[in-house]
Amino acid sequence: MRVTVNGEVGDWPVETLGQLVAEFLARTGSDPDATVATAWNRLFVGKRQRPALLLSEGDEVEILVPMQGG
């Protein structure tokens, strides 16, 4: 599915936001259990809602992974 993630358009082999978050974390080498914040088409989506949220072509998703350091 072609969606925009963090400003970059790409093809993702997923159907739900939950699957997209898991795939994103895998691709970026992040901890798969990392706490992240997500927005779908500019709306905040909580962790419990992600598995049921079906994505569509052209959706825009932001995935924010907390960083440590200063």
| pLDDT score for 67 | 73
pLDDT in tens, the chain (70 residues): 999 999 999 999 999 999 999 999 999 998 989 899 999 999 999 999 999 999 999 999 999 988 766 6
Distance between CA atoms of residues 56 and 44, nearest Å: 17
CB within 8 Å of 58: residues ≥ 6 apart:
2, 3, 4
Please tell me the predicted confidence (pLDDT) of residue 70. 61
Domain ranges of the chain: 2-64
| CATH number 3.40.190.10 is the correct assignment for the domain at 2-64 | no
Predicted local distance difference test score (pLDDT) of residue 68:
67
* Residue 59: predicted pLDDT: 99
pLDDT attached to residue 66: 80
